Structure 1
Amino acid sequence: MRVNQLIALLQEHDIYQGTTLKSDDVNVDSLAYDSRQATKNSLFVCKGFNFSVDYLKQAIDKGASIYLAEEDYHVDTPMILVSDVRKALSLAAQLFFNFPQNDLFVIGYTGTKGKTTSTYFTKNILAHANPKEVAMFSTINHIIGPKPDDEFKAHLTTAESFDIFHEMRQAVDNGCKYLVMEVASQAYLLDRVYGLTFDVGVFLNISPDHIGVNEHPNFANYLFCKMQLMLNSRNCIIDADADHFDEVLSAAKVSTAPDHIFTYGFNQPEATLSITQDAASLTGSSFNLTVNGDHADLTDLATDYDVSLPGDFNQANATAAIMASHLAGAAVADMQAGLANTVVPGRMEFIKTKHHGTVYIDYAHDWGSMNALLKFLHTQFPDYHVTAVLGSTGDKGEDRREGFAKALNQYADTAFLTTDDPGYEDPMKIAKEIDSFIDHSKVKTMIIPQREEAIRHAIATATNHDLVVLAGKGEDPYQKVKGVDTPYDTDPVVAKGAIAAFVNEN
């Protein structure tokens, strides 16, 4: 990477403040923001809330020849000074990897809930239309090519900017032409997608979440960061049923022409696409779409669709995927096939038992997703007893605890409160806090800290008129406890093991 090109790019974005290089007509061979990854003749980026000059010295010892930072660390190595190192890292990564986004049709999803499912829906539709050409960045995993080795577990909903553009470059080199990705609010809060323009940006929904000391200071900031996707997309798709719809639509109109803004919703005559639910079961659903307004190019979308996941909220997610994949060039037949055959690990997975009801495994981990899930089960199957097994994460999202209780009070009959990534907090204390908001005249509760035991007990006491919801963990293979990823068998494995142990299930 030519350093003078980087400086010109930083100047273009008005964050360049100077350099101690004698000449900027030099080249660097690699780029790193982790001192352990620095190599000979690399540019090292000094970033992080807990950054120490010791990291810089370690990078220099490994061969870093220039460093990029917001302050002078008074070392002998030349520096490039900037006003915003996070933005600078994103720009440097784009330049270093030769702007891989220019060779991809990029679709981004944001929302408090539904990002992962919508991403999987869209990926499957586009993969049906374009085999071996679709990359995906999701909370669960990343896919950067057609080979088994091109799929790996994700560590963050939206990775650091360097990793995003690095994986984009790998995807392009592996023959991918499309990328579907989740865009978390922190992606904009921390400038992880700074400078990236999406071909399609989708706003699914918004509800209070991720507000706390280590996250967003308040809901206004959370909403503001979510809406940034609308300001950085060539085409915008918005759920007309979403809270704060008018604000989101106004944000989209700032930088996107009206004929590139599309909306959808249930029985919404003013929306571009109106959803009408056709049928629902414990394992899937069907719906049809109506195209409103002057959209002759969308008329083919007005037909019937089957979805492999239950819940009206998944019909909304599917509709977002239909519109996004249409803009990417997919045909209706691809959409129908993709939606009918999508499996999302840890999202509305279900296990039917002989004598202990139906067990649902879902990643629902905030009020919005929990409320939508329990409301669907309660509304569609009012004669069933709904039992929920859940906890709440420690060290963040403390408002979720009252939100969980609110959802339980409205739609659950029994709750087993247990452990879910407690971090440095006491899981018993978290469970008792959730319990303090529960109306015990409506919901029978029991606190069982050991998650495996809570799951076994919930299933053991269930009958064929019970729906047992295991919420929060999905297929996460660990519990975050005091800074350590402690191995955990995953909710599906624990549930299947419990069922297999029951004599009347064999």
Structure 2
Amino acid sequence: MICLRNAIELALIGANESTVVGVVMNGDLTKQHLGDESKPMSLDMTQALTLLNEHQLLIQTTQPASTQTFQHVTYDSRQVTADTLFFCKGNFKPAYLASAKAAGATAYVAETAYDEAGAGLTGIIVTNIQKAMALLGAAFYGYPQNDLFIVAFTGTKGKTTSSYFTYHIEKQHTDNHVALFSTIDRIVGNKPADKFKSDLTTPESLDLFHDMRSAVDNGMTHLVMEVSSQAYKKNRVYGLTFDVGIFLNITPDHIGENEHPTFADYLHCKEQLLVNSRTCIINAETAQLLDVYQTAKATTEPEQIYLYAREGAKLALPLDLDVTFKNVNEDLHQSDFAVTALSDKAKALALDETYELHVPGDYNESNAVSAIMAGALSGAKSTEIKQALVDVHVPGRMEMVTSPDHGTIYIDYAHNYASLKALLQFLHQQTHAGKVIVVIGSTGNKGVSRREGFGKALSEEADVAILTTDDPGYEDPKVIADAIDAHIDHERVTVQFVMDRQTAIETAINMSTPDDIVVLAGKGEDAYQKVNGVNTPYPTDVTIAKNAVKEL
């Protein structure tokens, strides 16, 4: 083993004198790129070791570090090519490193040395593989975040919808020079090949910086992205500072063995977005306002913190609001709401308008206000914002399928108590004559607390619940459905079990009358079911609903 100091000294011997080494200031990466920008992305050993040492992550190297240059970085052994720096992360097996070595990897980064599988390779041993991967990924791809105005959202519900609202605002404002990283899609340019489905709400750090680089190379100047609590838990966004960070809300979710151990941990991870944002927007209606606001104030000047809430809302903390909004008109197809700036800094954004939103739901007005404020802070004009909200479409969120002889069908990703409650409450308020029929399941192997939440929301707002399958993982979907059913008030709600999701959807539509509303909750536009570790192809709720209506 080579000690930390010697590893760096050996790597420096023979290093190119013109090499630029990244420096970290105030916890953020500088805008300085590594090496010659006209060359393909690369990273040399000297730069890697120096950067890791600056962040106190480097422990040692397994052999004298050479002056090699890496032409590729990856954590997937199937993607290794010649001169690859390979990252050993997660549920790692030595066989992956052996495979990477055979494919051309010349060094690896890990929290432990793999003497046998990594024989002949330089092992860079670090204290935290996820942080190391984020730092080296940013350096390898030339710090693309410095060429983007980045708006980031966090919250238990509303991240995707708010991100799409903001994305459409920025499209108007930048003439289509905006990228999007969301739960649904990652969009890095304006060509069909630049849009692809997301695997994670927030990508792994190497994928994140790769996609940022692609966006910059495609001429994008802005980026709108979702930042999950897991992104901070797993250090996927380590080293990133956002231009605008928006905290939408928080309720208990993602708490369990494979996620967050406690609500306090969940809240802490959510709040890190505010700690790492230059300007903060906070929905003041959150029950955790005191904690959230104090966290923002710890690192951000008050003049750079904006608070908003619905007019007349009761706040957990008596704070002066910057922006309020109120509903003017709403139905099952759209809503009109008025926004009023109260503080001088908010008035300077010229937000005061009545906006028309073609994504129904009173809760979506709040999402839209966050997007309006974020757009204005990026320089968007009210005319651009108004046009964007009229035109916006959010895949798998409040999508409607109509049937003349049966109920109106709504497809929505609502996947926890708060989002399902808000959705059903709004629909119930709009449905005076008919029933609310809900098709729903719950995911396996995570978010176990959601099952009780679903049962509670159904008891409060539904008339009929058809319990079915939704990404059961390695669990029995009937056992999951039973767990939901255990928390349903059967005196108020009629319950059926139909474990085949397509059949469940068809059953709900067939039983509905013209006055009824059918809600297909939880999957949105997901085109697969996660079963026993396999993404099994699934037609999507939208497709099934449309086909069912055609066959009536």
Q: TM-score, normalised by structure 2?
A: 0.89
Deviation at 1:440, TM superposition (A): 0.7
Matched residue SS, 2:474: coil
Query: Which of 251, 269, 281 is matched with 1:207 structurally?
Result: 251
Query: Which of 148, 158, 174 is matched with 1:130 structurally?
Result: 174
Query: Which of 340, 351, 372 is matched with 2:401 structurally?
Result: 351
Deviation at 1:18, TM superposition (A): 2.1
The answer to whether 1:69 aligns with 2:110 is yes
Deviation at 1:413, TM superposition (A): 0.9
What is the match of residue 423 of structure 1? 473
Correspondence list, 1:61-460, <5 A: 61-74=102-115, 75-267=119-311, 270-295=320-345, 297-298=347-348, 300-460=350-510
Q: 2-side partners of 1:435 and 1:480: how far apart? A: 22
Give the letter aligned to residue 444 of structure 1.
T
- Whether the 8 Å contact between 1:46 and 1:69 is mirrored in structure 2 is yes
Deviation at 1:361, TM superposition (A): 0.4
Query: Which of 86, 103, 122 is matched with 1:44 structurally?
Result: 86
- Whether the 8 Å contact between 1:132 and 1:175 is mirrored in structure 2 is no
Q: Which moved more, 1:62-71 or 1:186-195?
A: 62-71
- Whether the 8 Å contact between 1:211 and 1:218 is mirrored in structure 2 is yes
Give me the CA root mean square deviation. 1.3
Matched residue SS, 1:129: helix
Q: Which moved more, 1:56-65 or 1:156-165?
A: 56-65
Q: 1-side partners of 2:342 and 2:471: how far apart? A: 45
- Whether the 8 Å contact between 1:268 and 1:275 is mirrored in structure 2 is no
Give the letter aligned to residue 348 of structure 1.
M
Q: 2-side partners of 1:329 and 1:21: how far apart? A: 52
Give the letter aligned to residue 478 of structure 2.
M
Give the letter aligned to residue 392 of structure 2.
T
Distance change >3 Å, CA 254–CA 296, structure 1 → 2: closer
Q: Which moved more, 1:152-161 or 1:27-36?
A: 27-36
Give the letter aligned to residue 73 of structure 2.
L
Deviation at 1:67, TM superposition (A): 1.2
Q: Which moved more, 1:380-389 or 1:364-373?
A: 380-389
Could you tell me the percent identity over the aligned residues? Answer: 50
Deviation at 1:387, TM superposition (A): 1.0
Matched residue SS, 2:547: helix
The answer to whether 1:58 aligns with 2:99 is yes
Report how many residues are paired: 501
- Whether the 8 Å contact between 1:287 and 1:306 is mirrored in structure 2 is yes
Once the two structures are superposed, what CA deviation does each residue of 1:246-274 show, in whole Å capped at 9, x if it has no partner? 11111111111111111111015832110
Deviation at 1:444, TM superposition (A): 0.9
Structure 2 spans left out of the alignment, 5+ residues: 1-42, 314-319
Q: 2-side partners of 1:292 and 1:368: how far apart? A: 28
Q: Which moved more, 1:290-299 or 1:57-66?
A: 290-299
Give the letter aligned to residue 58 of structure 2.
Y
What is the match of residue 32 of structure 2? none
Q: TM-score, normalised by structure 1?
A: 0.97
Q: 1-side partners of 2:285 and 2:327: how far apart? A: 15
Structure 1 spans left out of the alignment, 5+ residues: none
Q: 2-side partners of 1:234 and 1:268: how far apart? A: 29
Q: 2-side partners of 1:417 and 1:145: how far apart? A: 40
The answer to whether 1:14 aligns with 2:56 is yes
- Whether the 8 Å contact between 1:121 and 1:321 is mirrored in structure 2 is yes
Q: Which moved more, 1:369-378 or 1:381-390?
A: 381-390
Query: Which of 35, 46, 49 is matched with 1:4 structurally?
Result: 46
